[in-house]
Structure 1
Amino acid sequence: MLTDYNIMRKGSRREVLLAVLPFIQFILLLIALQCALILLSGTAGDEAREAFRVRVIADSNTADAQQVKAGVAEGVSRVLGKAELTGPSSIEALIPEMAHAAEEVSGGAPVRVMYGTAFFPPKVVAGGMIPQARADSIVVTVGSGRGDNWWCALFSDVCEPGDVAAEEEETEEEPVTFFIVEWLKSMFG
């Protein structure tokens, strides 16, 4: 009579892992593709790359200095909104008017307005990504210019446009869904 004993198969766990590995790789590939699509979708990056930019630098990071900075940005925006910009010479001609408008709201702090090429860090705007680059811009410095920067893309009412901000408040955000999760829910739930 033969004794009973358990038969152990070598590599049974390995075989299961090798069978599941392609499925895991496929899921990871789908997740990576969806992340890439989310980061690269949108047209804001293309539009903003071509836009003229304004950089307003506050005197400091205090609340008063930030309010002055917002007023200066609004004054510069008004001047640029009224002007017809045809090239660099028309922008340079507006510098004294922009400086005057900025000094009116700066509370006595000196204001420097310079036109030229400035470095802009990468920025995500409306679903698109603007890569870091040097761009033609106006740099407005209030006082010592030791505050945080405010980067703007022009020709849509500088930054925070009133009409666009009102529209954004009215629209409800659609919940973010991932197609992989939805697909799995449809299969198993």
Structure 2
Amino acid sequence: MLTDYNIKRKGNRREIFLAVLPFIQFMLLLTALQCALILLSGTAGEEAREAVRVRVIADSNTAAAQQVKAGVAAEVSRVLGQAALKDPSGIEGLIPELQLAAEAVSGGAPVRIMYGAAFFPPKPVDGGFIPQARTDSLVVTVGSGRGDNWWCALFSDVCEPGEVAAEEEETEEEPVTFFIVEWLKSLFG
């Protein structure tokens, strides 16, 4: 028969909790810092939220249909850029001109253009995001409209995020600084 012996534990639950408490505090501090950075960085600008979105739907997923879709998107972008609308309600008046421009590059495929509310998923833009919502949008359907969707916000970077903005902005970038580092530098000179 085995002899019974006492098991000696290395501390009770309170001591273990006190040993783990600094780690928990550190993790909470990191979480709070991350939340503060997210809040301070903000979301996408109000103009991006209020901008009219464009959805171009291709006839199919073939390479030729995707090229036609890209051409239609470029034409729609060009017409909207030339119109320089300050108010989204003026888009309805541009639909006939948009229709003609899109049909000119669609390769004979019919083009339908509708303006109204549509559901958009959340989208990252310029270090923030545009939350999901039903927004006014311009839906351009090429042919049967069975291709993948193509979404973009207008008036900032219409089709390819960053490419247009990078070409237009050739300014010096401000160096990135961190609040905590700057604060510590100011404390210790």
- TM-score by structure 2 length? 0.74
SS of 2:71 mapped into structure 1: helix
Deviation at 1:91, TM superposition (A): 1.3
Alignment of 1:21-60 (within 5 A): 21-37=20-36, 39-40=38-39, 41-60=41-60
2:165 matched residue in structure 1: 164
Letter in 1 for 2:16: L
Would you say the 8 A contact 1:113–1:141 is kept in 2?
A: yes
Would you say the 8 A contact 1:38–1:127 is kept in 2?
A: no
- TM-score by structure 1 length? 0.74
Identity %: 64
Would you say the 8 A contact 2:52–2:88 is kept in 1?
A: no
Residue deviations 1:111-135, cap 9 Å, x none? 1011111111111112212111111
Deviation at 1:87, TM superposition (A): 4.0
1:139 matched residue in structure 2: 139
Deviation at 1:47, TM superposition (A): 3.4
Deviation at 1:56, TM superposition (A): 0.8
Distance 1:67 1:86, change over 3 A: same
1:182 matched residue in structure 2: none
Alignment of 1:96-115 (within 5 A): 96-115=96-115
Alignment of 1:62-141 (within 5 A): 62-87=62-87, 90-141=90-141
Letter in 2 for 1:71: G
Q: Tell me whether 40-49 or 141-150 shows the greater mean CA deviation.
A: 40-49
Would you say the 8 A contact 1:39–1:129 is kept in 2?
A: no
Aligned residue pair count: 171
2:16 matched residue in structure 1: 17
When the two chains are superposed, the root-mean-square deviation of aligned CA atoms in Å is 3.3
Deviation at 1:17, TM superposition (A): 2.3
Deviation at 1:160, TM superposition (A): 2.1
Deviation at 1:21, TM superposition (A): 2.2
Unmatched tracts of structure 1, length 5 or more = 1-6, 180-189
Letter in 2 for 1:121: P
Q: Distance in 2 between matches of 1:77 and 1:101?
A: 10
